[in-house]
């Protein structure tokens, strides 16, 4: 009898250990998508000023190791190794000049966070308000509204009403519709890029341009999502860690979503514009263009 009890206890312990290992492997080790340290946040205006100067150079640690030169550009230490990309900046008398933009190894744009359910009420419409909340986070910082939680909640409801009148519904807003919503409600331009790469996202962010992406939510694997996540989801991409190929996000789908880090491969796999089934949706990113900046028109199409 004692031997039977010992065997039963051993089997029970083994089952618990196997289950624990499965949870760890499934949601933490495999995905690598979790709360982890991120770089110090950099104001979008700082990057915009650098991009609009003739020497738009970004350092590896904008706030720590580098300083603004006399032209307002951020100058990097000569000992740093950085990737480069070409972008457009405003030259004298409104002309356009080509600028070699040196991309920092890591970057994190300063974008204050609110969840799509600002008061943790996940009933409708908050359950389906990820697109609205994502562009509101961007509009809040680009247009310097400085909304508090209550104002953010009211802005979501205003957008929901606008979508009902404009599109007939507010659920499952496409990338193009989201770009239109951003332009017509807040006067903010954006460009849509098809099949974006990790380098495309890095270049946009290094120019001080926040990125909004739409996903098949159940492929994201955030452990804070309920029921495996939403069918369709949107979030703000606000930074990256180049050497690890990770993106820093404001994931409005969870109250813990501020500065949530995802592996690029995870998000690339989940990246889908709205379609039915969602897996048929095209892979697109929405690059948000703050005022007084320009994009390289050779790799993007104007939205809205």
Indicate the pLDDT class of residue 61, thresholds 50, 70 and 90.
very low
The predicted-structure confidence for 66-116, as pLDDT tens digits, reads as follows: 333 333 223 222 222 234 454 554 454 455 545 566 789 999 999 999 999
Report how far residue 224's alpha carbon sits from residue 123's, in angstroms, rounded to the nearest whole number.
17
The predicted-structure confidence for 136-158, as pLDDT tens digits, reads as follows: 999 999 999 999 999 999 999 99
Supply the pLDDT for residue 290: 93
Q: Omega into 182 within 30° of 0, i.e. cis?
A: no
Supply the pLDDT for residue 274: 98
Please provide the distance, in angstroms rounded to a whole number, between the alpha carbons at the two ends of the chain: 75
The predicted-structure confidence for 168-219, as pLDDT tens digits, reads as follows: 999 999 999 999 999 999 999 999 999 999 999 999 999 999 999 999 999 9
Report how far residue 291's alpha carbon sits from residue 141's, in angstroms, rounded to the nearest whole number.
12
CB distance 191 to 288 below 8 Å: no
CA 43 to mean position of chain CA atoms: 15
Supply the pLDDT for residue 17: 66
Q: Which of 266, 267, 270, 263 is nearest to 246 (CA)?
A: 263
The structural domains of the chain, ordered by start, are: 126-302 (3.90.70.10)
Buried b (16+ CB within 10 A) or exposed e, 139-153: bbbbeeeebeeeebb
Mean model confidence pLDDT for the chain: 80
Q: Where are the beta strands (DSSP E) in 27-120?
A: 67-68, 74-75, 83-90, 96-103, 106-108
Report how far residue 250's alpha carbon sits from residue 38's, in angstroms, rounded to the nearest whole number.
12
Supply the pLDDT for residue 45: 87
Q: Which ranges of the chain would DSSP assign to H, the alpha helix?
A: 2-24, 44-51, 130-142, 149-167, 175-186, 198-206, 264-270
């Amino acid at each position: 009898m004692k031997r039977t009890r010992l065997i039963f206890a051993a089997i029970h312990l083994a089952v618990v250990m196997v289950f624990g290992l499965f949870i760890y492997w499934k949601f933490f080790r495999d995905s690598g998508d979790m709360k982890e340290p991120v770089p110090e946040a950099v104001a979008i205006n700082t990057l915009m000023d650098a991009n609009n100067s003739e020497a738009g150079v970004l350092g590896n640690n904008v706030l720590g190791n580098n300083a603004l030169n006399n032209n307002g550009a951020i100058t990097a230490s000569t000992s740093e190794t950085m990737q480069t990309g070409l972008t457009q900046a405003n030259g004298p008398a409104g002309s356009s000049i080509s600028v070699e933009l040196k991309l920092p190894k890591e970057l994190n744009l300063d974008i204050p966070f609110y969840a799509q359910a600002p008061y943790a009420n996940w009933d409708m419409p908050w359950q389906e308000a990820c697109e609205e909340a994502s562009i509101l986070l961007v509009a809040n910082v680009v247009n310097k509204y400085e909304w508090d939680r209550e104002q953010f909640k009211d802005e979501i409801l205003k957008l929901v009403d606008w979508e009902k009148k404009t599109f007939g519904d507010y659920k499952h807003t496409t990338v193009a519709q989201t770009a239109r919503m951003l332009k017509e409600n807040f006067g903010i331009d954006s460009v849509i890029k098809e099949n974006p790469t990790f380098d495309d996202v890095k270049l946009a962010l290094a120019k001080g341009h926040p990125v909004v992406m739409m996903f098949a939510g159940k492929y994201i694997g955030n452990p804070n999502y309920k029921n495996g996540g939403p069918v369709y989801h949107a979030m703000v991409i606000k930074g990256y860690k180049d050497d690890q190929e990770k993106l820093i996000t404001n994931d409005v789908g969870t109250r813990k979503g501020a500065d949530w880090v995802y592996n690029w491969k995870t998000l690339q796999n989940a990246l889908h514009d709205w379609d039915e089934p969602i897996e048929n949706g095209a892979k697109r990113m929405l690059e948000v263009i703050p005022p007084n900046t320009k994009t390289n028109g050779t790799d993007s199409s104007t939205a809205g």
